[in-house]
Amino acid sequence: MEMQNVIALLVALITILNILFAIVVIFVERRDVSSTWAWLMVLFFLPIVGFFVYIFLGRQLKQRNFYQLAEEERNFLNDAVNIQLEQLTSSDFNEKPLLKEHADLITMNMKSSNALLTDDNEVTIFQHGRDKFESLFEDIQNAKKEINLEYYIIQRDSLGKRLRDELTKKAKEGVRVRVLYDEVGSRRMDRSFFKELIDSGGEVEVFFPSFLKLINFRFNTRNHRKLCIIDGEMAYIGGFNIGNEYLGLNKKFGNWRDTHLKITGDAVTHIQGRFVLDWKQATKQEIIDYEAYSISEERNNGSSAIQIISSGPNSMTEHLKNMYLKLIMSAKRSVYIQTPYFVPDSSFMDVCKMALLSGVDVRIMIPNKPDHPFVRWANLAYAGELLPYGAKILLYDNGFLHAKSIVVDQEVASVGTTNIDLRSFRLNFEVNALIYDEKIARNLYDLFLEDSQDSVELTLEQYKERSGTVRFKESISRLLSPIL
């Protein structure tokens, strides 16, 4: 066969494959319109490369019963939600003005993501890694029954080794220890790192493991959650992963500014339930653990009302994005957001603009020192779009800002693992604590103001004067944002 015929055959084959993948993207997967057009552009403008990019980054998860819940488990969860929905109209809730005011938000989260409400919680806020990890290690050392730990990143450095050694000690004491880490986030990690822990009775699993340690067909769909639950009595949730950089020891980033919570109270059982589902998915074990979802009959001493809201690509509904949208739409005075990645979709941008046009004080804090050039240009592109509407954009300049929080009217706040970007809203498995408590909200509000002292404000005049090169980079970043 002549070379010309071979080339023609290859071109025809690639064209047919591209058409087939385009059909899948448009008619089978039924993606968001912006994502559909972005993938079509990749497939047709990068015929060979685009094919492999799609295989590793583009495939969606099956969404039907992803966690393979038994009928009993699904019925139990539905019954618990229905009971609480009835309670929303009871005198107990009516006596709490803040819960009554946000009854529609509470109801939406219950119906959307089975996010039950508990109102007897105590919350501690951490903004520095050293404080968070010293508290975590102390609680691990005092554990009596069980330690469940789930992190996107666990590094093989001194902090990771200290965690492993502390867990190994507890396993030797007879405490049940379970560790779940993400394969891509913890790409330098392997099970041999935990050999002594496993030999001592600890259990270690990987979320979406790679094929032969080299190929991962779920590279773009990761478990971004960061949780630790101890004895079913206390839980940690927020932005800190496990690694020396989170202690501010990385020369590239310097000071690491993050936000993490320690929660005691009935909300812990629902954080535990989140872990149980992820553990079940990773291990394929049949687990029916009703205690992980049940509301305790015993009241705790705290007074913070909390919903634990999860989201992931296993659902057609973007639960956490909807929570953010509803929060912003409810704002009457202020919306303060901290996020390392501000690459939202049009719906998020629209509610921010409406809030600004309604006279709400909207402030968004992003890093002045990003962890990737693409992030910087994308952040500036979207944040800059809000400047003409009156938004205040702050560039945090004291190291790296990794906090993921929103505070509305100094009354309601959310802290968790979710960034304001399409990856967190659509691709990653995420979890946030939504807190209905003026005291906690004011504390987070004050932290925002404190961080503002270490930030540089980006003005509309400065943004208009940016160079043509910067404008070009922003345009490319916005164009690719739906698939990254």
Residue 404 appears among annotated catalytic residues: yes
358 backbone φψ class: left, alpha, beta (φ>0; ψ -120 to 50): alpha
Place of tokens 């009217």: 409
Quick one: DSSP state of residue 242?
A: B
Question: CA–CA separation, 418 vs 430, rounded Å?
Answer: 6
199: amino acid identity, one letter: D
* Whole-number CA gyration radius for the chain: 23
284 backbone φψ class: left, alpha, beta (φ>0; ψ -120 to 50): left
User: In this structure, which long-range contacts are made by residues 84-92, counting pairs with CB atoms below 8 Å and at least 24 apart in sequence?
Assistant: 84/110, 84/116, 84/117, 85/110, 85/111
Residue 266 appears among annotated catalytic residues: no
What CA–CA distances, in Å, run from 179 to 94, 176, 282?
41, 10, 11
Active-site residue identified among 132, 262, 321, 402 = 402
Active-site residue identified among 170, 226, 260, 270 = 226
Residue 226 appears among annotated catalytic residues: yes
Active-site residue identified among 231, 289, 361, 454 = 231
Residue 414 burial (10 A CB sphere; 0-12, 13-18, 19+): buried
Number of residues assigned to the chain? 484
β-bridge pairing 392-396 and 361-367: parallel
Question: CA–CA separation, 12 vs 253, rounded Å?
Answer: 48
Question: CA–CA separation, 215 vs 219, rounded Å?
Answer: 9
Residue 473 appears among annotated catalytic residues: no
Active-site residue identified among 102, 132, 170, 224 = 224
Question: CA–CA separation, 390 vs 197, rounded Å?
Answer: 54
Structural tokens at position 438: 């003026």
Residue 372 appears among annotated catalytic residues: no
What CA–CA distances, in Å, run from 167 to 150, 178, 206, 224, 271?
13, 9, 17, 21, 20
Residue 260 appears among annotated catalytic residues: no
Nearest one of 211, 149, 148, 146 to 184, comparing CA atoms: 211
Active-site residue identified among 266, 409, 421, 437 = 409
H/E segment holding residue 296: none
Contacts of 32 (CB under 8 A, 6+ apart): 345, 426, 482
Torsion angle of alpha carbons 10, 12, 16, 19, nearest 10°?
Answer: 110
Active-site residue identified among 182, 404, 421, 437 = 404
Phi, psi of 467 (to 5 degrees): -75, 165
Helices (H), 411-484: 422, 438-452, 460-464, 468-480
What CA–CA distances, in Å, run from 23 to 18, 59, 326, 424?
9, 13, 34, 26
- Residues with active-site annotation: 224, 226, 231, 402, 404, 409
